[in-house]
């Protein structure tokens, strides 16, 4: 059985061992992790995201980042491109039936040439002969005469149980013989249906447009660099499209519908631009998702898509992804930096570090994208920063849990000498489980102790706690109480056990008032010593509880258990609500002699209980106490006017009085929404 000296020595050792953990503010790591662990984390983060980058899923996610860069860096068009659309209005004017007679397209070619168009591009397949062969001959004649026409071709993939092959669909021989440029209009959709890759083939439609333009205007458009593996750099998109737009029927007679020079030196692209309600199959087959689709919800007609491809290639804005080795090098550097900078975990500083690293990635990545058309896939790199934060955060969280658990054990129960004496005198009464007794329970807690622990080193914390606990423990003993345990900065004491005390309620209240008086004196002494100020909250309740040894076979643990004990702890915390230093239950007040300067505060209902508990505090201001009694009596009777006058008078005396403020607020609510017959003045403690 431990002696008085043994218990004191155990307490001293417990405090000493806990100080090392109190040195570091809550949530932070006392010392950085070893370089070996730091390097392992960095390598693991790099390996994970490097592996992801090589998967289809990883590439797909990176292309989402490409979309974001495309949208935020988009600029207006630079090439002289105009779109002519076969749209709803044109169907109404020219004819509702598609395909139109080839003679109609012949008229368009003549009208555009007369208007000065540089190149005329048809994003249409003229692969099926007309019912009237004269229509095809008329179109062929117009193409031959113009000399600046480009027509789309298409490749389709066919697959059956017997073969798999690509089949190319070209314009009719009669049309090819007229000498137009012919280019493949195929584009590649990614797995999410977005078109990002620039067509690379030498017979791509955009390349044929360039060739035809240079025939008509030699040297006008420079041959583009090698664009293998590049992506389309889309121009800024509006709801009405990225390029000047003209309805087909207007282009047939530009003199009537358009300003002079509308097509002068323009590359004119002709294609479908129908709504979903007209020509549904044609519309769906010729509408494409772009990087703008996720933000605008708009899809782009194929004819406009080819305009973006052409401009991206010719203006040198086609985007080139940085080589994989550069991507992995940046990933490795960022993984190492994030691991090194976060190894000494500080939540806020680590967030700032992560954001700074992200900015160091996003800033240059945006700059080279916008100005150099180079793309650094950054989703994996940014994810590596986030992963480092999460890894170190999780480790910090687990360490914090360990530290809190260790502090709790180190400051936990140490047997008071009175308990030892009682064990020696009546060891049979301290068998496991204890006995049922009526006792008074007191809980204290230091307000703002966590902040003190975070701001000051263990030496400061130890000095403050040592002085506080030493003086508080002496007061408990002098008032015949039993110190049950220290929990962090909290203290639990009981009166009436193990030693019988008929005045346990009165002694507990006297001890509480003496503690508060002592804490005022201690606060002044601490400030004089250059130590932080402390304030204390106390909760007191008298109840029936099980008191005795609730430890194990080889560990003695003397304490009190029961709902009443929990209520005392709740009252300590409720001081914050009422602005009080001591909160005492009505059960305790009923057992103390009359004459104490008591102030009733409220009737509360503890969580899980249905019966209200009256709570009081000690207040030497008799006028405030009387006004509170008057106000509460009126409040219970629903006399809102009288209650308001009483609490208003308190507020005039004490503008910081939280009790008066609280009741004035409740009265205002009850006045605006009168309660029903079942209303009770009690409040649920867990909702305060």
The SS3 assignment for 471 reads helix
Which among 293, 314, 335 is the end of a domain? 314
> What CA–CA distances, in Å, run from 511 to 62, 430, 437, 619?
67, 26, 20, 15
* pLDDT at residue number 235: 84
At how many degrees (to 10) do helices 35-53 and 56-72 cross? 90
Where in the sequence is the domain holding 380, given as residue range(s)? 35-68+322-405
* pLDDT band per the 50, 70, 90 thresholds, residue 597: very high
What confidence tens digit (pLDDT) does each residue in 292-327 have? 888 888 888 999 999 999 988 888 888 999 999 999
Q: pTM above the 0.85 mark? A: no
Residues 249 and 337 in one domain: no
Tell whether omega for the bond before 498 is within 30 degrees of 0, i.e. cis: yes
214-223, 534-543, 651-660: least confidently modelled range: 214-223
Q: Share the mean pLDDT of the chain.
A: 83
161-175, 248-262, 311-325, 646-660: least confidently modelled range: 161-175
Residues 131 and 276 in one domain: yes
Give the integer Cα–Cα distance in Å for 517 and 537.
12
Most confident of 94-103, 495-504, 553-562: 495-504
- Asked if residues 287 and 300 have their Cβ atoms less than 8 Å apart, the reply is yes
Q: Decide if 90 is inside a domain.
A: yes
What confidence tens digit (pLDDT) does each residue in 164-191 have? 787 888 999 999 999 898 999 889 898 9
Q: Does 632 score more than 90 pLDDT?
A: yes
Residues 174 and 254 in one domain: yes
The SS3 assignment for 71 reads helix
The position carrying tokens 């030493």 is 470
Q: State how many domains the chain has.
A: 3
Q: CB neighbours (10 Å) of residue 588?
A: 26
- The number of angstroms, rounded, from the C-alpha of 429 to the middle of its chain's C-alpha atoms is 56
Q: Decide if 619 is inside a domain.
A: no
Residues 169 and 280 in one domain: yes
Q: Decide if 212 is inside a domain.
A: yes
* pLDDT band per the 50, 70, 90 thresholds, residue 12: very low
At how many degrees (to 10) do helices 658-672 and 640-653 cross? 150
**Token pair listed for 329:** 């090098």
Which among 314, 339, 358 is the end of a domain? 314
Residues 84 and 194 in one domain: yes
Give the integer Cα–Cα distance in Å for 513 and 534.
16
Give the integer Cα–Cα distance in Å for 473 and 491.
9
> Do strands 490-495 and 482-487 pair parallel, antiparallel, or not at all (unpaired)?
antiparallel
Q: Does 20 score more than 50 pLDDT?
A: no
* pLDDT band per the 50, 70, 90 thresholds, residue 236: confident
The mean per-residue pLDDT over the stretch 638-667 comes to: 91
Residues 61 and 92 in one domain: no
What confidence tens digit (pLDDT) does each residue in 119-163 have? 999 999 898 998 889 999 999 999 999 999 999 999 887 776 666
* pLDDT at residue number 161: 67
Q: Decide if 30 is inside a domain.
A: no
In CATH, what number is assigned to the domain containing residue 538?
A: 3.30.70.1230
Which among 569, 589, 609 is the end of a domain? 589
What confidence tens digit (pLDDT) does each residue in 506-565 have? 999 999 999 999 998 888 887 887 777 788 999 999 999 998 877 766 666 778 998 899
Residues 128 and 259 in one domain: yes
Residues 393 and 449 in one domain: no
- Backbone conformation region of residue 588, classed left if phi is above 0, alpha if psi is from -120 to 50, else beta: alpha
* pLDDT at residue number 405: 54
Q: Decide if 398 is inside a domain.
A: yes
Residues 270 and 386 in one domain: no
Residues 262 and 336 in one domain: no
Residues 443 and 579 in one domain: yes
Percent of the chain with pLDDT over 90: 36
Length of the chain: 688
Q: Decide if 649 is inside a domain.
A: no
- Asked if residues 440 and 560 have their Cβ atoms less than 8 Å apart, the reply is no
Angle at 120 between CA 114 and CA 121, to 5 degrees: 160
Contacts for 348 with CB less than 8 Å, ≥ 6 apart: none
- Asked if residues 355 and 382 have their Cβ atoms less than 8 Å apart, the reply is no
Here the contacts of 399-407 (C-beta below 8 Å, separation 24 or greater) are 399/29, 399/345, 400/26, 400/27, 403/21, 406/17, 406/18, 406/21, 407/18, 407/21, 407/22, 407/488
- The 3 state secondary structure assigned to 236-262 is CCCCCCCCCEEEHHHHHCHHHHCCCCC
Residues 163 and 258 in one domain: yes
């Amino acid at each position: 059985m431990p002696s008085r000296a043994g218990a004191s020595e155990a307490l001293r050792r417990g405090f000493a061992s806990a100080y090392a953990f109190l040195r570091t503010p809550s949530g932070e790591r006392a010392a950085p992790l070893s370089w070996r662990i730091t390097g392992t984390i960095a390598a693991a983060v790099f390996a994970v995201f490097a592996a992801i980058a090589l998967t289809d899923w990883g590439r797909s996610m990176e292309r989402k980042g490409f979309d974001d860069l495309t949208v935020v860096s988009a600029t207006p068009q630079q090439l002289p491109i105009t779109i002519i659309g076969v749209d709803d209005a044109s169907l109404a004017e020219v004819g509702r039936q598609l395909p139109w007679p080839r003679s109609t397209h012949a008229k368009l070619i003549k009208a555009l040439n007369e208007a000065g168009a540089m190149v005329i591009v048809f994003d249409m397949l003229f692969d099926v002969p007309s019912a009237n062969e004269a229509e095809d001959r008329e179109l062929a004649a117009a193409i031959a005469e113009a000399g600046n026409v480009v027509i789309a071709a298409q490749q389709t993939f066919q697959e059956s149980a017997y073969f798999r092959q690509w089949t190319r669909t070209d314009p009719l021989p009669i049309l090819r013989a007229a000498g137009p440029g012919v280019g493949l209009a195929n584009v590649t959709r990614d797995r999410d249906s977005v078109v990002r890759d620039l067509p690379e083939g030498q017979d791509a439609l955009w390349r044929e447009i360039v060739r035809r333009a240079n025939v008509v205007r030699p040297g006008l458009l420079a041959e583009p660099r090698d664009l293998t593996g590049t992506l389309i750099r889309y121009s800024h998109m509006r709801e009405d499209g990225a390029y000047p737009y003209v309805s087909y029927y207007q282009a047939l007679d530009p003199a009537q519908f358009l300003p002079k020079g509308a097509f002068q030196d323009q590359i004119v692209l002709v294609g479908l631009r129908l709504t979903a309600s007209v020509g549904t199959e044609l519309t769906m087959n010729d509408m494409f998702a772009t990087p703008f689709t996720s933000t605008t919800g708009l899809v782009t007609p194929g004819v406009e898509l080819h305009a973006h491809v052409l401009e991206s290639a010719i203006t040198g804005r086609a985007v080139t992804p940085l080589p994989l080795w550069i991507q992995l090098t940046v990933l490795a550097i960022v993984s190492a930096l994030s691991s090194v900078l976060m190894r000494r975990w500080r939540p806020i500083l680590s967030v700032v570090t992560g954001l700074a690293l992200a900015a160091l990635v996003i800033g240059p990545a945006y700059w080279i994208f916008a100005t150099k058309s180079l793309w650094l896939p950054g989703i994996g790199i940014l994810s590596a920063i986030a992963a480092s934060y999460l890894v170190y955060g999780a480790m910090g969280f687990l360490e914090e849990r360990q530290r809190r658990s260790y502090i709790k054990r180190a400051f936990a129960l140490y047997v008071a000498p009175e308990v030892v004496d009682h064990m020696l005198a009546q060891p049979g009464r301290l068998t496991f489980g204890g006995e049922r007794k009526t006792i008074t329970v007191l809980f204290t807690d230091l307000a703002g102790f966590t902040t003190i622990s975070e701001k000051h080193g263990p030496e400061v914390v130890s000095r403050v706690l040592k002085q506080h606990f030493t003086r508080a423990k002496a007061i408990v003993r002098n008032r015949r109480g039993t110190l049950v345990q220290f929990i962090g900065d909290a203290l639990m004491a009981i009166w009436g056990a193990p030693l019988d005390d008929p005045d346990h309620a009165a002694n507990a209240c006297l001890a509480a008032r003496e503690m508060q008086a002592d804490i005022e004196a201690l606060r002044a002494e601490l400030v004089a010593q250059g130590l932080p100020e402390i304030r204390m909250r106390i909760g007191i309740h008298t109840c029936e509880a099980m008191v005795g040894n609730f430890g194990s076979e080889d560990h003695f643990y003397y304490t009190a258990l029961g709902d009443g004990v929990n209520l005392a702890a709740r009252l300590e915390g409720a001081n914050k609500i009422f602005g009080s230093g001591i909160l005492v239950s009505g059960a305790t007040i009923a057992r103390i002699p009359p004459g104490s300067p008591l102030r009733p505060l409220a009737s509360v209902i503890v969580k899980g209980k249905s019966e209200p508990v009256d709570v009081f505090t000690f207040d030497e201001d008799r006028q405030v106490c009387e006004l509170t009694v008057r106000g509460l009596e009126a409040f219970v009777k629903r006399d809102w006017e009288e209650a308001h006058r009483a609490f208003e008078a308190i507020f005039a005396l004490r503008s910081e009085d939280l009790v008066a403020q609280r009741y004035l607020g409740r009265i205002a609510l009850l006045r605006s929404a009168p309660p029903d017959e079942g209303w009770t003045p009690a409040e649920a403690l867990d909702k305060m």
